[in-house]
Amino acid sequence: MTKEIALKYGCNPHQKPARIFAENGELPLEVLNGKPGYINFMDALNSWQLVRELKSALGLPAAASFKHVSPAGAGVGLPLSERLRKAYFVEDLELSPLAAAYARARGADRISSFGDWIALSDEVDESTALLIKGEVSDGIIAPGYSAGALEILGGKRNGGYNIVRIDPDYEPDTLDTRKIFGIVFEQRRNSVIPAADLLENIVTRNKDLPAEAIRDLVIAMITLKYTQSNSVCFVVDGQVIGNGAGQQSRIHCTRLAGEKADLWFLRQHPAVLALQFKDGISKTDKDIAIDEFLRGNWAETEDGGDVFATVPRPLTGAEKAGWVKNMANVALGSDAFFPQRDNIDRAQKSGVKYIVQPGGSIRDDKVVRACDEYGMVMAFSGTRLFHH
């Protein structure tokens, strides 16, 4: 451990000097390989808190895929279906629970996760390291690494992959401080760990909240706690499937999260799973090709462009809409109240059944009425989760 780490530069190359340091004692982390930068450490420390709290709240290994100080995905270590294994390009891998958690986190939005920062709640094993080895990633933070995992990860990026170990017992001070334009801001650290007790105030007629939905709503709330606000998060089957972050309007958060969730589900369409690629095509190129295929933007040439082995027939709008209608039992969390029912109307199009939000809008009655119309279950947590 050390008291200070000098950084190459800050958020941008012209922002020098830059460093992270401990005001008292030593830093609770150690760089085992590479040279992480300013944004890397911002991602690392936010993502570590997310997975630590998921593990604490649910008792399952947890993973997060971070980009620009917001999670592109997060998940816990539940087994993957054969359909998900194929959609995530892990059908040939033996996955430990921790590796399954990262496959879920990475699979939420594979386009956004390109070059991600990874956080893992448990010691990294070889199964997880082998999965990470095949992905484009900037770095990782975890409480420890097996010798085999460290050797595998140390070979990424020509030996320059950023590997950080954090003390799992470290607890920060009660007060958080930051400086903006020379002015010091201070506030009590957000030490609330969202859990099932925040779901007790169910305000809809439908009050049936199964254990799986409780788990998914907890994942949504903890993910939102470390997502740049405004934010709305869609979760199903133990993983984030759409995160709408940093929007000024809540309906735009919901639309963004819903669109990401729809694309996540469309990646599992039989026509997508049956796509044939040329030999030697990377996962990244496959991800881009699938995304373009689903958006109808791919190049239709005799040989299927640069990636497809055969020219795929494009999915019609009706086929895509029909497939998305199969989405069901999706959980949704919002970091602040819904000001209008339009958020509920959009959410139901992506299979949302369960919702948690703080409540407190003057139009709460209209929002609850919209949920009742769709047979949804909604809880008022009474806890806002803004993160800036």
pLDDT of residue 378: 98
The pLDDT tens digits of the residues spanning 247-292 come to: 999 999 999 999 999 999 999 999 999 999 999 999 999 999 999 9
Pairing of strands 137-142, 116-120: parallel
- Taking the CA atoms of 285, 322, 347 and 49 in sequence, report the sign of the dihedral they define: negative
Q: Which member of 55, 67, 320, 387 is catalytic?
A: 67
Would you give the distance in Å from CA 63 to the centre of its chain? 8
Contact 41, 217 (CB under 8 A): no
Q: Which domains does the chain have, with CATH numbers?
A: 4-166 (3.40.140.20), 192-266+324-380 (3.40.140.20), 273-314 (no CATH)
Whether 14 is catalytic is no
Average pLDDT value over all residues in the chain: 95
- Among residues 14, 158, 179, 388, the one annotated as catalytic is 388
Amino acid (1-letter code) at residue 369: R
Cβ contacts of 252 within 8 Å, gap of 6 or more: 244
Q: 68 an active-site residue? A: yes
Q: Supply the pLDDT for residue 2.
A: 85
Q: What is the pLDDT of residue 302?
A: 46
Q: Which stretches of the chain drop beneath a pLDDT of 70?
A: 298-305
Instruction: Record the pTM.
Output: 0.95
CA-to-CA distance for 77 and 97, rounded, in angstroms? 4
What H or E segment, with its residue span, contains residue 252? helix 250-266
- Active-site annotation holds for 252: no
Q: What is the pLDDT of residue 299?
A: 56
Amino acid 301: pLDDT: 46
Q: How confident is the model at residue 310, as a pLDDT?
A: 85
Spell 284-318 as b/e; 16+ CB within 10 A means b.
eebbbbbbebbeeebeeeeebbebbeeebeebeee
Which of 68, 278, 283, 286 is labelled catalytic? 68
**Token reading at 3:** 């008291």
Say which of 33, 230, 243, 343 is annotated catalytic: 230
Nearest Cα neighbor of 290 from 130, 71, 86 is 86
Burial class for 167, CB neighbours closer than 10 Å (0-12, 13-18, 19+):
middle
- What pLDDT shows up at residue 312? 87
pLDDT digits (tens, 9 = 90+) for 54-98: 999 999 999 999 999 999 999 999 999 999 999 999 999 999 999
**81 three-class SS:** coil
Show Cβ contacts of residue 171 under 8 Å, excluding neighbours closer than 6 positions.
none
Any catalytic annotation for residue 388?
Answer: yes
pLDDT at 203: 98
